[in-house]
Chains A and B, each alone.
Chain A
Amino acid sequence: MNMEMINYKDDGQFCSGHVACAGCAEALALRVIMNAVGQDAIGVVAPSCSAVILGGHPMSSVKIPFIHGTLESAAASASGVKRALVAQGKPDTTVLCLAGDGGTYDIGLQSLSSAAERNEDILYVCFDNEGYMNTGGQKSSSTPLNATTGSTPTGKSTRKKNLIEILAAHRIPYIATTSPSHLNDMAAKIKKAKTIRGTKVIIVLIPCLPGWGVADNAAVKTARLAVESGVFPLFEVEGGLTYTMTKATKTQPINDYLSLQKRYRHLNDEQIAQIQQDVDEDWQRLTTRAIEADV
C-alpha cells in the first residue's frame, strides 16, 4: 500500500471537540477542506453528517459562517449567498456548499442541476457515504449494487447512480473525486477549484463506519482500497469533456475492498465476480476517455 506524507497547513479552520463518530474520515476530510478553503468564505450545509459535525447552536466547529439550509436546496441556497455577495461587491468570497449523497444524488439533484446549468460560482462538496447514514443507514441512489442498508436488507438490486456523468453533461468547469486516503490530492483539488469561476463539484467518498460495517480504525484503509481497486477512481473532469486520471492505475482486486465491509458480507462468489466485472468495465470506459482527452 502506498503511503504519503500529509502536507498541508492547518490554520485552525476546523476545531476539535466536534461530534463526528470516533474514527470517521469525514472529520479528517473536513479538516483538510476547511483549511484549503480558508477564512474568506461563507458556507451552506444541507442536513447531513457534516451538518452534525459542524455543531449544534451556539457551538461551531468551523471558523467560517454557515447557514444550515434545507435538504433539497443546498445549491440554490449557495446561489443566493453568492448573489448577495456579488450585490455587496464581494464577488471573490468563496461560497462553499456541503451536502451528503442524499442531499446531492437524490433530493438535492434538481437544485444542483439548476445551479450547474446557470454555472453559479459555488464550490459544492458532496460527502458520499453511499446512503442515508445520518438517519440510521437507508439506501440512496448512490448506494452501490448489492450493498445492504436498512431499506435494502437483502442488497440493493440496482447500480449506483453515475452523478459525475450527469454533472459532466452540464459542462460545468470543474468536477473531481477525492478521498480521505489521499489528503494532499484533496487539498490540491479544493485549492484548484477555488481559482475557477463557475460551478465546481467535488465528490468525496466517505466510508461510513456503522453504515458500511467498517471497523473503527479502518475508515482510511477502506477509502484507500476503494481508490486502489478502481471502485472509486480519482479523476477530474474539466468543462464536462476533459477527463484526467489522478491515479492512472488500479492495483487491487475488488474483494479486498468488499471484505472490509459488513454490507457486502452476504455476497457469493458470482456476485463478487459481477462487481469485479462492472468495476473493470467502468475503469476501462473512464480511462479511455482520459486517454482520448490527452491526445
Chain B
Amino acid sequence: MNALSSNKDLQLLNGNHAVAMGVKLANPHFAPLYPITPQTPILEKLIALQSAGELETELLTPESEHSAMASAIAASATGVRVFTATSSQGLLLMHELLHFAAGARTPIVMFNVNRTPASPWGFWPDQIDSLSQRDTGWVQLYSENPQESLDTVIQAFRIAEAAQMPVMVNHDAFYVSHAVEPVEVPAQETVDTFLPAYKAGLHLDPELGRSLGAPIDQKSWNESRQQMAAAMATVGDLTASAGQDWGDLTGRSYGPLEQYRTDGADVVFVTMGSMCGTVREAVDGLRARGIAAGLLKIRLFRPLPQVELRKALADVPCAIVLDRNYSPGVGGVVHQELKAALFDMANAPRLHGLLAGVGGVNVSAEMIERLAVEYRDAVASPDPVWVEE
C-alpha cells in the first residue's frame, strides 16, 4: 500500500519541526527556549503551536542558553516535565549547567542540533559540540533522520524520567534539521500509552521543606557520583525497552545500536547521525559489487553500550569509524571511544579511525565505497586519518 494513502498521519516535516511535533505529544509542563541557528525552527514551531492553543507548555524566552538551562533545572527540581533545545555555542555556554543538571538528577530532555563551534564561525554539521559534553552526565542519543528525531525525543522523556538523568538527543545541522521528509506523527493516544503522565520524585515543595544542592562533604559527593553510575547502568536497558515498546506501537523499533547488513560482513562502518543514511547507500552499492560491507550505527553514545558493541564487532575482520568530529590532539571521538570499548578483545576487528566530514564537508556514498576498498585489508593505525572526497 502506498504509505501516503494509508490512514497514518504522514506530514512533510523538516527534522526540527518533527522534533517540535514530538515535544508537543510528550507535552512537557515547561520549556525555556533561546534561538540559535540551526535550532531555531524548533523554538518557532513550539511557540506557533502554543500561540494556536495546541500546546499547553509554559514557555520562557530568556536572554541566553545559560539562563534557559538554569530555569530548566530549577523547574525540573520543582517537579515538572521540562524540555529545551539548543545547538553548538548555546550548548557550550550551558556547559557548567550540564554538569549541574546531571548532578541534581533533573530528568530534562534537551534537543541539540549538532553544529560546528567557533572559531572560526561556521554553521555546518559536526558533532564535536555534543561529544565534548560527554563527561557531564547527560545521556546522549544521536538521530539519523526527521522520523527518528520525532520518535527519539518522545522515548527520551521515558528514559530520562525512569533513570532520573537528563537526556540530550542530537541530530545533524541542516542534513537532518532542515531536510524535509514524510514523517508519521503518531496519535496522542499512542504517545499517552507509551509515556506515562509525569510523576515527580523528591522535589522542592514547601510542604516537604527539603533543599537541593547544598554543600556536602567529600564522601557524600563521591557517593552522588556512584549513584549516577548506578543510574547510567540502567540506561542501556531502558533505551532498548523504550525502543522496543515504541516499535510495538508504531512499527518502528529502535535500540542502543542498529546493525544494517552486517551478517557475514568483512568490513563494518561505525558511525552516528545522518552519516548512517549515506553509509546505508554505500553498503548497498558495495554488496552489489560483491564486497561484504555493513553498518553499525551508534544511537546511544552515553552511556556507551560497550557489551553490545563488543558483541556486534566480534569476529568482524575490519571496522572503519567515520567521525564527523575532531578532538584536537587525539582524533575522532567515536574512534577513541571504540578503541577503549574493544580493549583486550581477542576477536576484535582491525579498527580504522577516519576523520570524515569534519566541519560539514560532504561525504558521499561513492567516497564511502572507495574507503571500504582502500581500508578493508589495510593494517590499522591507532592514529586518526583525515580523508576527503
Q: How far is the CA of A128 from the CA of B81 in the complex (A)?
A: 35
Interface members, chain B 36-83 (any A CB < 8 Å) = 58, 60-64, 66-68, 70-80
Contact of A70 among B60, B68, B96, B215 (CB under 8 A): B96
* Interface residue? B30 (CB, 8 A): yes
Interface members, chain B 97-111 (any A CB < 8 Å) = 97, 100, 104
Interface size on A, residues (CB 8 A): 45
Question: Contact at A54–B208, with CB atoms within 8 Å?
Answer: no
Taking A70-B96, A110-B63 as contacts, is the C-beta distance between A83 and B211 under 8 angstroms? no
Contact of A87 among B58, B68, B70 (CB under 8 A): B58
* Interface residue? B289 (CB, 8 A): no
Q: What 1/0 flags go to A107-132 for Cβ under 8 Å of B?
A: 00011011101100000000000000
Residue of A nearest to B57 (CB): A87
Question: Contact at A44–B66, with CB atoms within 8 Å?
Answer: no
Range, interface on chain B: 35 or more
Q: How far is the CA of A70 from the CA of B101 in the complex (A)?
A: 11
Taking A69-B70, A79-B60, A114-B62 as contacts, is the C-beta distance between A84 and B79 under 8 angstroms? yes
Tally inter-chain residue pairs, CB-CB below 8 A.
152
Contact of A44 among B32, B72, B74, B215 (CB under 8 A): B74
Return chain B residues, CB-CB under 8 Å to A68: 211-215
* Interface residue? B209 (CB, 8 A): yes
Question: Contact at A93–B206, with CB atoms within 8 Å?
Answer: yes
Q: How far is the CB of B137 from chain A (nearest CB, A)?
A: 15
Contact of B213 among A67, A79, A86 (CB under 8 A): A67
Question: Contact at B32–A57, with CB atoms within 8 Å?
Answer: no
Q: How far is the CA of A86 from the CA of B206 in the complex (A)?
A: 15
Return chain B residues, CB-CB under 8 Å to A252: none
Q: How far is the CB of B65 from chain A (nearest CB, A)?
A: 11
Return chain A residues, CB-CB under 8 Å to B216: 56-57
* Interface residue? B29 (CB, 8 A): yes
Return chain B residues, CB-CB under 8 Å to A87: 29-30, 58, 75, 80
Contact of A76 among B29, B67, B214 (CB under 8 A): B67
Question: Contact at A70–B70, with CB atoms within 8 Å?
Answer: yes
Q: How far is the CB of B389 from chain A (nearest CB, A)?
A: 43
Q: How far is the CA of A98 from the CA of B67 in the complex (A)?
A: 17
Interface members, chain A 42-70 (any B CB < 8 Å) = 42-44, 51-52, 54-57, 60, 62-70
* Interface residue? B199 (CB, 8 A): no
Question: Contact at B206–A39, with CB atoms within 8 Å?
Answer: yes
* Interface residue? A85 (CB, 8 A): yes
Residue of A nearest to B28 (CB): A87
Contact of A65 among B58, B62, B208, B220 (CB under 8 A): B208
Question: Contact at B78–A42, with CB atoms within 8 Å?
Answer: yes
Question: Contact at B63–A67, with CB atoms within 8 Å?
Answer: no
Residue of B nearest to A87 (CB): B29
Return chain A residues, CB-CB under 8 Å to B67: 73, 75-76, 79, 110-111, 114
A sample of 12 inter-chain contacts (CB < 8 A) reads A51-B214, A57-B214, A65-B210, A70-B96, A76-B62, A79-B60, A80-B72, A84-B29, A88-B29, A88-B78, A88-B79, A111-B70
A sample of 16 more A-B contacts (CB under 8 A), given A66-B212, A77-B70, A84-B79, is: A56-B217, A57-B215, A60-B211, A64-B206, A65-B206, A65-B212, A68-B214, A69-B213, A73-B70, A75-B67, A76-B68, A80-B72, A80-B76, A84-B75, A88-B79, A110-B67
